[in-house]
Structure 1
Amino acid sequence: MPLVSPRTLLTAAAATVATLTTLAPAPAAASPHTYRVIDLGTLSGGDGAATAMNDRGDIVGWSTVASGARHAVLWRHGVITDLGVLPGDTDSTAVDVNEFGDVAITSFGTDYLTRAVLWRDGHLLDLGTLGGENSVAIGVNDRRQVLGTSEPGGDMPHRFLWRNGVFTDLGREYFYEFTSDFNNSGDVVGGFNVPPQDYPCTCVGGRLRDGVFTQIGGEALGVNNRGQVVGSADGRAFRWQNGTLTDLGTLGGSWSRATAINDRGVVVGLSTTTSQWHPFLWRNGVMTDLTTRGVLVTDTIEDINIRGQLVGARANRPVLFR
């Protein structure tokens, strides 16, 4: 992938941004099965959360140990594995897992320095940096690429792709920008500061594909392997594909936000009702309030796989919703 500065990408985007369709509300009722809530178990500290899962059912996240430190963990076939920390560090958290079982981790210690790490076949691999002191892992795909951020020496953080020891620099992640997700094609989504790049940020959701930026709008929070992007625009959850932005509706309130999408196009997120925020699932044009299907208002939902299983946390415990 050629190195292209974000300013060049964002300037070129004006001529390539797809026309967005008028938002049209979706229905707000459906009847999926009630979820069975499974506590995944923790290490000796007792607290934890699940952050991501693959389609095989591997789940990753973090759990506290007896000292109170957090360690990255993997749950597989009902067994929890402590993935550890880099030498000299005290804490780590796992953020993603691919279909090979590779786990993307960020490890850190009392010096507040962070390192992107890949756990593969029982071993932790320090991915290094772009020249500075820090790197952070965001995801890992089935091409065994790791998405993350790292600062070159003396510069602000850059987005990067890492594979087999080789970094591809995707350009600066400017102040107030963010990087949220990517897919097997290497599409990267997040928030980008577009021209005129006013302070603090004229930020919009967008996608980087092979060095080309496409503006989506709002905030882009997740992407699947079909290239469908989810997020929130003008306070409403959306799903975007090939220039078409679909409003997913709400649960009766004014606001909603989509946070994750699987390869079947099923979306999870949060929406206001007439009184408070509730977790939702959106499928085939219909939004369902998950609190009517065994999920609590206080539960967090972090990911959904192709089988429709959900992972997250309940009362500081890692859980699977199946």
Structure 2
Amino acid sequence: MSDARSVSSNGKAAGYVTFNIDGSFRPALFELGRLPTPIYTDGPGKATGVNAGGEVVGWYQQGGSTQAFRWKNQSLTTLPGLGGGSSHAAAINNRSEIVGWSEAAPGVVHAAYFYNGKVHDLGRWGGVNAQATAINENGDIVGFREVVVNGATVRQGVRMVRGRKPVLLRPPKGFDALVPLSINEKGDVAGYLHKAGGLAFETQAFTLIGGDFERLSTDRCCTGFPSSANAINNARQSVGQKFDGNADPRQRARLWTADGQPVALDALPEALASGWYALGEATSINDRGVIVGVGQTDQRNVRAYMLVPKK
């Protein structure tokens, strides 16, 4: 199988591929017209980000820990951690700035910024743990902190504009948790909301544009199924998926236009005509409108896909 998790401004994609060997999956770089380029890490791993220069970031397993990495020009470099064990690279911009997280002590996770071979501790943002999830070309960062509320762990969104202190992104009424997954150059944010104590898939996609929250409907009739918005571009188009427990795949790809209107990508006629059974989770979109994700070519074969807008 294959899975694409990120797309660069010039259409390179990163994710992972699986092999029929012990340990199975490895990070990979995808480019149109070429076979995937596996990144041969010491253990199973996934790529989570890629920039226009072809730098790929992600993580791989080492025993009971994970190790953040950067890969460029066929060379793999491990990223330094904060000394506590596991680390994870989540995203990279075109200035080679990387964000993610690192354990400062076993079980104590801090948001982290990696640049020029060094790791910078972003701290826990006032929580018990914190993770950075995305960075834009300006160097603005989003992520979340974890706090305990009435015995339940709640993730609270954080946005840190370059040169300023981190600010909490408070969820709208009716929700306890907010997890940002993407930030564009305008500072707009996309991600998901949920209530404390809810199941992992019981989430609601949102965008935060100019200070205004919008809950994204999955279908034109209503808010509908549980959902997540995984990425937003500078045209304020966002992509993600709805969760349909009765479907296969259960994740069904969605595009939301700048005004929040949903577009069902899972049954896109062009995809079905080219042999796809269904397009699942849409993971990333660039400013050209190129979308990547993972779907099924039949009810068994899982493959990475790329949607390229018609000229």
Shorter-normalised TM-score: what interval? 0.7 to 0.9
| Pairwise CA distance, 1:117 | 0.6
AA in 2 matched with 1:226: K
Is the 2:111–2:130 contact (alpha carbons within 8 Å) kept by the matching residues of 1?
Answer: no
Is the 2:110–2:129 contact (alpha carbons within 8 Å) kept by the matching residues of 1?
Answer: no
1:134/1:192 CA distance change after superposition, 3 Å:
closer
Is the 1:179–1:188 contact (alpha carbons within 8 Å) kept by the matching residues of 2?
Answer: yes
The residue that corresponds to 2:26 in the other structure is 71
SS in 1 for 2:104: coil
* 1:62 aligned to which of 2, 13, 16: 16
How far, CA to CA, are the matches of 1:99 and 1:58 in structure 2? 7
Gapped regions of structure 1 (runs ≥ 5): 1-46
Question: Is residue 246 of structure 1 aligned with residue 221 of structure 2?
Answer: no
**What count of residue pairs does the alignment treat as equivalent?**
271
SS in 2 for 1:204: strand
Q: Deviations over 1:160-206 (max 9, x none)?
A: 10100222111027557554322222322233346x85532343333
SS in 2 for 1:225: coil
| Pairwise CA distance, 1:150 | 0.9
Higher RCO (CA 8 Å, separation ≥ 6 residues): 1
Is the 1:302–1:312 contact (alpha carbons within 8 Å) kept by the matching residues of 2?
Answer: yes
The residue that corresponds to 1:261 in the other structure is 232
How far, CA to CA, are the matches of 2:117 and 2:26 in structure 1? 24
Is the 2:79–2:117 contact (alpha carbons within 8 Å) kept by the matching residues of 1?
Answer: yes
1:203/1:105 CA distance change after superposition, 3 Å:
closer
1:236/1:63 CA distance change after superposition, 3 Å:
closer
Q: How does 1:132-147 map to 2 (within 5 A)?
A: 132-147=84-99
1:237/1:155 CA distance change after superposition, 3 Å:
closer
The residue that corresponds to 1:98 in the other structure is 51
Question: Is residue 203 of structure 1 aligned with residue 203 of structure 2?
Answer: no
* 1:313 aligned to which of 282, 294, 303: 294
Aligned residues: CA RMSD: 2.7
The residue that corresponds to 1:226 in the other structure is 186
Q: Deviations over 1:83-114 (max 9, x none)?
A: 211xxx222211100122111021223x1221
Question: Percent identity of the aligned residues?
Answer: 26
* 2:265 aligned to which of 284, 290, 310: 290
1:278/1:119 CA distance change after superposition, 3 Å:
closer
1:299/1:200 CA distance change after superposition, 3 Å:
same
How far, CA to CA, are the matches of 2:154 and 2:26 in structure 1? 36
How far, CA to CA, are the matches of 1:93 and 1:271 in structure 2? 23
AA in 2 matched with 1:319: Y
User: Structure 2-normalised TM-score?
Assistant: 0.77
Q: How does 1:1-322 map to 2 (within 5 A)?
A: 47-68=1-22, 69-79=24-34, 80-85=36-41, 89-109=42-62, 111-153=63-105, 156-172=108-124, 174=127, 178-193=131-146, 198-209=150-161, 210-217=164-171, 218-233=178-193, 236-251=204-219, 252-253=221-222, 254-255=224-225, 256-271=227-242, 278-285=252-259, 286-294=261-269, 299-314=280-295, 315-322=301-308
How far, CA to CA, are the matches of 1:154 and 1:114 in structure 2? 12
| Pairwise CA distance, 1:229 | 0.2
SS in 2 for 1:205: strand
1:247/1:262 CA distance change after superposition, 3 Å:
same
Is the 1:250–1:272 contact (alpha carbons within 8 Å) kept by the matching residues of 2?
Answer: no
Q: Deviations over 1:202-235 (max 9, x none)?
A: 4333312333223242332221222110123465
SS in 1 for 2:39: strand
Is the 1:176–1:200 contact (alpha carbons within 8 Å) kept by the matching residues of 2?
Answer: no
Is the 2:135–2:182 contact (alpha carbons within 8 Å) kept by the matching residues of 1?
Answer: yes
User: Structure 1-normalised TM-score?
Assistant: 0.74
Once structures 1 and 2 are overlaid, which stretch shifts more, 129-138 or 145-154? 145-154
Is the 1:260–1:304 contact (alpha carbons within 8 Å) kept by the matching residues of 2?
Answer: yes
Choose between structure 1 and 2: higher strand proportion.
2
How far, CA to CA, are the matches of 1:143 and 1:184 in structure 2? 7
How far, CA to CA, are the matches of 1:98 and 1:108 in structure 2? 23
SS in 2 for 1:96: strand
How far, CA to CA, are the matches of 2:140 and 2:67 in structure 1? 23
Q: Deviations over 1:274-313 (max 9, x none)?
A: x877422111322222234246656221111222222122
AA in 1 matched with 2:17: S
